[in-house]
Amino acid sequence: MGVMSTVSSGQHTRPMCYLLLLMILQLGLHTAEGVWPLPQTLISSTERFHLSPQAFYFGYGRQSAAQQGCSVLDAAFKRYFALIFPDYTSGRWNLFSDKNESKILLQICLFSVDHNDCDGYPNESSSERCKHKRLESFSQLVYQDDFGSYFVNKTDIKDFPRFQFRGILLDTSRHYLPVQAILKTLDAMAYSKFNVFHWHIVDDPSFPYQSRTFPDLSSKGAFHPMTHIYTQSDVRRVISHARMRGIRVLPEFDSPGHTKSWGKGQPDLLTPCYKGGIPSGTFGPINPALPSTYHFMATLFKEVSVVFPDSYIHLGGDEVDFSCWKSNPYVRAFMQKMGFGSDFTKLEAFYMENIVNITSALNKTSIVWQDVFDYHERVSTPQQITHINYEVRSTYYAELSRMTKAGMRVVLAAPWYINHISYGQDWHNYYTVQPLNFSGTEEQKKLVIGGEVCMWGEYVDATNLTPRLWPRASAAAERLWSDEKQTSNVDMAFPRLQDFRCKLVRRGIQAEPLYVGHCKQEYQGI
Amino acid sequence: MGVMSTVSSGQHTRPMCYLLLLMILQLGLHTAEGVWPLPQTLISSTERFHLSPQAFYFGYGRQSAAQQGCSVLDAAFKRYFALIFPDYTSGRWNLFSDKNESKILLQICLFSVDHNDCDGYPNESSSERCKHKRLESFSQLVYQDDFGSYFVNKTDIKDFPRFQFRGILLDTSRHYLPVQAILKTLDAMAYSKFNVFHWHIVDDPSFPYQSRTFPDLSSKGAFHPMTHIYTQSDVRRVISHARMRGIRVLPEFDSPGHTKSWGKGQPDLLTPCYKGGIPSGTFGPINPALPSTYHFMATLFKEVSVVFPDSYIHLGGDEVDFSCWKSNPYVRAFMQKMGFGSDFTKLEAFYMENIVNITSALNKTSIVWQDVFDYHERVSTPQQITHINYEVRSTYYAELSRMTKAGMRVVLAAPWYINHISYGQDWHNYYTVQPLNFSGTEEQKKLVIGGEVCMWGEYVDATNLTPRLWPRASAAAERLWSDEKQTSNVDMAFPRLQDFRCKLVRRGIQAEPLYVGHCKQEYQGI
């Protein structure tokens, strides 16, 4: 067999970056298999190509704007070669099996590439029609026959994501997750085409982020100052690993609530609570009445905005308990001075606006949890704020309607709180979500920029993260990537997801089973 | 420090085998720690001994009936040395840290040992006052200070299990579990003092047991005839690994229902179902109307009784669907001939009695699921049958009452179907079970010989078995081992269980967290 080159038909050519691969899907025995998440169109034929790992290689098409030296693609070629031919790279390949094969070249064409596609960080405007997400689809189409030979059927795929924001939240405060666990999650995210890692890095229980400016935050606020922290180098490693996989890293420094651990390393940051007219010794949310608070936050976010290159920063703003603020006479006096009366939502809004102004000045887009929207309805709202809805499923349609009507961009998280486990095939619940099925105009629906799977950490650490996340999160991944009409049936999706789960296991991801059955290669990492 | 020898005070001496260890529990900082499951009595002092891994060794007391050459104990000494001093055995120990230590000998005394304690298999009459379960308690009492030195406080422990049968069921039919996953489970079982591995080895979906007599059962009935089977050597390895840890292996060959996979390799075993007067092509439970059935079962169980040395065999007998039997004219004719009329429970009872007679003739005690009891009330019941109750929690007290009233020995499984996961700290449910809290005489209560944690395999394979099982099963372990009055409070148990869970993680068991927090050594096996 000769060179397998890319073909560009008129029908497929687009002015913007576009990619065509010659791909394969075996019919018959392999119909249950395929690509997860489902491409927008996938036309397969019975014509199949024998792929020899000895002779196969990836290359850049002549017409491609990207060429060798494009670091993200060069690395992806290498990674995907090993994923496609695991027998070969592990040294178990029989050299005699395909000595007669001639070279096969799979060409990648990027017709338009901007600087970021090769050497920068993925961002909200990155075109996902291109790049290595196509390598993922291709890798899923390659299969082995009973003798171990690799094949791919001629397949024509047109693909792009339905939503631009497809995130996974990990919580590294309630339990510390070793860097290796995060990197493994990023690997698996790429396999399901997630593109945002929402890093809920600090919270009440611990502050593992080792700040350059305020080292006491982690040395006093982490579970352990040496073993349970993320150093600057750890963070760089996570961001770099994510970048190579087309994944943005969105850091969250949640305030003014959820900050108990911050208080250990930063005196006078938290509000002292009062009881019977005197300080009780306990502390509440961040103290919004002190100028020093805003100075500290500005300094911290200045550092964060440099360390994390993404254009978004998540500011939290959820679940603020007002009782401690109410108990504190200095906070109450501040309220009077500011004319807030006894409306603590105004104080919360005042605080959040200050923080949003800080991050705006750093040229970052702020994301906050939905709570903040409720307060901000009454005050001026910077347009760049994107809310994440975390209400229960029964009400989130109403919330989406209300928030998009107010012009807010929204990321939907409510139906994908995947830490809430239950017995049985609960992936159905994540799969059958209809993110745009709320009452609103077309303009409103465009404001839903995507969705996010949240793995809160109360009951999750490195021991159980992976099997709880995968393949349950992959169900949400298809909802966010694929055409809803083509993927509305759970029974149709089941065998393809089951097959995809076995692919994850084969790739070393400890993804749990969906139901009774087996994989050709069971998990061996025990 | 000199020789740490065992001390036998008059108060503790008993005519039967008895063991005393000089043990340690640090007070103060370490009060949350301790032994899981809780010993019957544990008296600790602040007097502490420095243990040097360079100088520490286990030995047999001079008065001990067991001496060097007792294979089970010799191996346990070696194993527990590594568990107690992981830094030392991994080569990370600083030789300078305790060069001045003199030898410390921890003597094990077995005042009475029968043949089985050293070289045989554990059985239902094995005295668990002795042997290496004490090593487990001792290993949990050793702790390290902040400089890595090992200590143990002087501790006096009297211990024995509340129930003699403390089992875990694994299901290797709905998903295949690699041998390594089973061995790892046996390790963790020993840490929680479980002593019965109930191996639900075959069922509808697959028949992984490779029979010597009927090799087609696995070559046609397993998920894969080579990669998804248990060879004779695999089974021996499991039994041997269990024996060294004081664990019995109770095999279950469930029939006449749950046998779909059997039919693939054994023609004419299953009942052909009829539709509209002709065979429909589908098959039901084992055919109880053919003499060949009983010949086959006798031959199979003859093999099983040799391969599995335990005195118990589990015969299943649960969830038999009568519809296929009803549809089959030959089965109906057999019913008439036997005078069963149209009462299919009589047919089921007839079948089970035949199987029980087969295993009785092989000198094995039969265990069956509770269903069988319902049928056997009407027919003769061999006294050796032990039932396992698998009803829902709301009714199991009534079932226990009814079954023990009929003189049946019972193993309680109903409240410990641990495959049923739910969000949050569901170990509370497993911990607060009161197995004897049913209405009945003292004689009836003695018939409850223990309990069993069931991990059915619909949603479980090697990817998620360990974090689903541990430490949730450990909650049941304490209920079955410890005094109920001393262990009735979940809040008191929580820090000790949390500490025990960290010990499991330290020992390489992927045990999931109970709640927010951390372990000194987090799980590294990612």
Statement: residue B114 has pLDDT above 70: no
Parallel, antiparallel or unpaired: strands B409-412 and B448-455: parallel
Is A206 in the B-facing interface, judged by CB distances under 8 Å? yes
Contact by Cβ (8 Å): B318, B377: no
Please tell me the least confidently modeled range out of B113-127, B218-232, B352-366. Answer: B113-127
Please tell me the distance in Å from B48's CA to the nearest CA on chain A: 26
* pLDDT given at position B108: 62
Confidence of residue A417 (pLDDT cuts 50, 70, 90): very high
pLDDT in tens, A106-145: 666 555 555 567 788 888 777 665 556 788 988 999 998 8
Confidence of residue A406 (pLDDT cuts 50, 70, 90): confident
Query: What is d(CA A172, CA A207) in angstroms, rounded to the nearest whole number?
Result: 9
Residues of chain A with pLDDT > 90, as a percent, come to 64
Which residues in A137-236 belong to E strands, given as ranges? 143-144, 150-158, 165-171, 196-200
Report CA-CA distances (Å) from B5 to A231, B19, B62, B113, B138. 48, 12, 10, 20, 14
Query: What is d(CA A391, CA A455) in angstroms, rounded to the nearest whole number?
Result: 15
* pLDDT given at position B101: 54
Per-residue burial over B151-170, b = 16 or more CB atoms within 10 Å of its CB, e = otherwise: bbbbbbbbbebbbbbbbbbb
| A-interface mutation test, from B184, B455, B461, most A Cβ less than 10 A away | B461
Is A424 in the B-facing interface, judged by CB distances under 8 Å? yes
Which residues have CB under 8 Å from A318's CB, separation 6+? A254, A257, A258, A368, A369, A370, A371, A372, A390
pLDDT in tens, B23-79: 333 333 343 358 999 999 998 888 888 888 888 888 887 777 778 888 888 898 899
Please tell me the distance in Å from A257's CA to the nearest CA on chain B: 17
Please name the residues between 404 and 423 in chain A that touch chain B, using a CB distance below 8 Å: 419-423
**Average pLDDT in chain B:** 86
Chain A residues close to B526, C-beta within 8 Å: 178, 180-181, 184, 462, 466
Query: What is d(CA A68, CA A77) in angstroms, rounded to the nearest whole number?
Result: 11
Mean pLDDT of A368-374: 83
Measure CB to CB from residue A421 to each of B181, B421, B515 and give the nearest one: B421
* pLDDT given at position B5: 29
Element (H, E) at A188: helix A179-191
Cβ separation A457–B511 shorter than 8 A = no
Statement: residue A183 has pLDDT above 80: yes
Pairwise pLDDT comparison (A95 vs A144), residue with the higher score: A144
Statement: residue A460 has pLDDT above 90: yes
Please name the residues between 487 and 506 in chain B that touch chain A, using a CB distance below 8 Å: 505
Cβ separation A516–B174 shorter than 8 A = yes
Mean pLDDT of A414-418: 93
Q: Annotated catalytic residue: which of B124, B252, B303, B319?
A: B319
Is A175 in the B-facing interface, judged by CB distances under 8 Å? yes
Residues of chain B with pLDDT > 70, as a percent, come to 84
Element (H, E) at A71: helix A71-84
Please tell me the distance in Å from B205's CA to the nearest CA on chain A: 7
Confidence of residue B340 (pLDDT cuts 50, 70, 90): very high
Confidence of residue A28 (pLDDT cuts 50, 70, 90): very low
Cα A285-A289-A292 angle, rounded to 5 deg: 90
Mean pLDDT of B423-450: 96
Cβ separation A224–B460 shorter than 8 A = no
Look at residue A143 and give its three-state secondary structure. strand
CA dihedral over B296, B298, B299, B305, signed as positive or negative: positive
Let me know if A319 is a catalytic residue.
Answer: yes
Is the previous residue joined to B471 through a cis bond, with omega within 30 degrees of 0?
yes
Cβ separation A463–B467 shorter than 8 A = yes
Statement: residue B16 has pLDDT above 50: no
**Phi, psi dihedral angles at B458 (to 5 degrees):** -55, -40
* pLDDT given at position B484: 97
Contact by Cβ (8 Å): B316, B254: yes
CA dihedral over A374, A375, A378, A383, signed as positive or negative: negative
Write out the two tokens for B39. 């010993």
Mean pLDDT of B249-267: 97
Confidence of residue A104 (pLDDT cuts 50, 70, 90): low
Confidence of residue B115 (pLDDT cuts 50, 70, 90): low
Q: Annotated catalytic residue: which of A47, A124, A128, A319?
A: A319
Element (H, E) at B191: helix B179-191
pLDDT in tens, A426-455: 999 999 999 999 999 999 999 999 999 999
Please name the residues between 315 and 354 in chain B that touch chain A, using a CB distance below 8 Å: none
In single-letter form, the type of residue at position B463 comes to T
Contact by Cβ (8 Å): A412, A367: no
Mean pLDDT of A170-178: 98
ipTM of the complex: 0.90
Statement: residue B18 has pLDDT above 60: no
Query: What is d(CA A287, CA A297) in angstroms, rounded to the nearest whole number?
Result: 11
Pairwise pLDDT comparison (B64 vs A310), residue with the higher score: A310
Please tell me the distance in Å from B274's CA to the nearest CA on chain A: 27
Instruction: Report the number of secondary-structure helices (H) and strands (E) in chain B.
Output: 19, 15
Please tell me the least confidently modeled range out of A76-85, A216-225, A237-246. Answer: A76-85
The candidate with the shortest Cα–Cα distance to B411, out of B442, B449, B373, is: B449
Neighbours of A46 (CB within 10 A): 11
pLDDT in tens, B80-100: 999 999 888 776 665 545 555
Statement: residue A221 has pLDDT above 80: yes
Confidence of residue B309 (pLDDT cuts 50, 70, 90): very high
Look at residue B139 and give its three-state secondary structure. helix
Statement: residue B230 has pLDDT above 80: yes
- In DSSP terms, A127 is beta-bridged to none
Cβ separation B523–A461 shorter than 8 A = yes
Query: What is d(CA B320, CA B324) in angstroms, rounded to the nearest whole number?
Result: 10
Element (H, E) at B42: strand B41-51
Which residues in A52-129 belong to E strands, given as ranges? 56-60, 104-108
Q: How many residues does chain B have?
A: 526
> Which ranges constitute the DSSP H helices of A107-160?
115-118, 133-141
Cβ separation B467–A462 shorter than 8 A = no
Is B439 in the A-facing interface, judged by CB distances under 8 Å? no
Cβ separation A459–B523 shorter than 8 A = no
* Chain A with chain B: Cβ pairs closer than 8 A: 133
Cβ separation A464–B510 shorter than 8 A = yes
Cβ separation B184–A223 shorter than 8 A = no
Please tell me the distance in Å from A495's CA to the nearest CA on chain B: 15
Confidence of residue A389 (pLDDT cuts 50, 70, 90): low
* pLDDT given at position B334: 98
* pLDDT given at position B103: 63
Pairwise pLDDT comparison (A399 vs B97), residue with the higher score: A399
Per-residue burial over B483-501, b = 16 or more CB atoms within 10 Å of its CB, e = otherwise: eeeebeeeeebbebbbbbb
Model-level pTM? 0.91
Which residues have CB under 8 Å from B352's CB, separation 6+? B256, B315, B317, B368, B372, B375, B376
